[in-house]
Amino acid sequence: MTAAQADVGPPTHAPTHAATPRTVHRGGSDPDDARALYEEVYDARDVTFTTDPHAGTGTGTDPHAGTDHPARTPTAPFTFRYRCTGDDHVTLRTSSVSAHRSGVLAPDRQYVLAWSVEGGVVIDPDREDGVTLRAGVPVMCPAGRPFAATAPPGTVHLVHFDADFLEAVAVVEDGNAPVPLAFPVSVPSSHLAPLQAVLREVAARLLDETVVDGERAALDLRLAEAVLQAFRPERDGGPPDVPVGTIVRAKSFMYAHFARPLATADIAAAAEVSVRTLQETFQRREGTTPTAFLRDLRLEKARLALQLADVRETSVAAVAHSCGFRHMGRFSGAYAAQYGEFPGATLRGQRRLVGVGGPVRRASARRAG
């Protein structure tokens, strides 16, 4: 099977609570062990490993020795490595295989973001809409149906999202019931830049098992929203004019970096305008200031993180800090003014989309809050 296949399943043992991470390491040199692992974690079938004709065992003609002196190509030993780190909602996975591989994957209730280090992985090679991965460019694997994949020797990185979690995040603000999501496999590279920036920023912390509670919940949420933003269909609004372009650039920068200390000058530089132009454009187009927009964005992220967190493991302070707030008193007051309750009440309440230690509660549970 492909390297992608080695990353399309949950950890061998799911963690007890959503924000409690664990790591699974597997590896070796036995193809049968690799096949059994990948069939287990991907619910895969027809998994095969084949020798690279340019690197495997065989004989070939040595151009310097003549036809009577065959040269033996050295045998490359078969090896595989698999690592999975994460919680019930999001897992980061890496699979490396030294052989060509192929198979059919049927991941159950998972949405899988994947990118190949070397490139050359092919998803649905026998379909007209099959996609070949370019090195380092993320794609969304097909969901809700089995799909075939092939890959050359190499490494594939994947991010797995629990389907209930990602579907809940997708509708957290519109009040609709979560439903299965139809993602395009690939999108224009311009859509991927903010997602790749978020990946670079959060990956190390998500791979750190000491990152737990509210901080991990906020990171899960941030990465989920970045994927939803990158792979949703583009709105048909035509090319923006200059002021709207300024707004788009400024907002994109704030969405990507809201957890960091940001000054108005930083936002203006990212939007490629002066501070005065940025402020005037926001006031004219949005009826607010860049600073107020950033504050509201951080409050929104904190509220979602609190709603999706496990009350037994999350602290309000950890969530606030992970969303860019440094002063708890100001955060608590601004949160209460915005949402009519203090952040602790949100965390303790029954309005979360994700049940404590369990799956997403669907529409009836949402309305009950």
According to the model, what pLDDT value does residue 163 have? 86
Q: Give the mean model confidence (pLDDT) for residues 113-130.
A: 94
What are the phi and psi torsion angles at 353 (to 5°)? -75, -25
In the predicted structure, residue 369 carries a pLDDT above the cut 90: no
Unique residue bearing structure tokens 């909602």: 89
Amino acid of residue 354: V
The pLDDT of residue 182: 85
User: What percentage of residues in the chain have a pLDDT greater than 70?
Assistant: 78
Q: How confident is the model over 83-93, as pLDDT tens digits?
A: 999 998 999 99
Q: Is the dihedral of CA 205, 206, 209, 210 positive or negative?
A: positive
Res 18: pLDDT: 54
Mean pLDDT along residues 42-58: 71
Per residue in 165-196, pLDDT (tens digit) is 888 888 776 656 667 888 999 998 888 999 99
**Secondary structure E strands in 87-146:** 90-97, 100-105, 110-116, 122-123, 131-132, 139-140
Q: Report how far apart the first and last C-alpha atoms of the chain are (Å, whole number).
A: 45
The model carries a pTM of 0.68
Dist. CA 347–CA 331, nearest whole Å? 14
User: Looking at the predicted structure, is the pLDDT value of residue 347 above 70?
Assistant: yes
pLDDT digits (tens, 9 = 90+) for 321-344: 888 999 999 999 999 999 999 999
Q: Is 194 within 8 Å of 255 (Cβ atoms)?
A: yes
User: How high is the pLDDT of residue 179?
Assistant: 74
Q: How many beta carbons lie within 10 A of that of residue 8, not counting itself?
A: 28
Q: Quote the DSSP letter at residue 101.
A: E
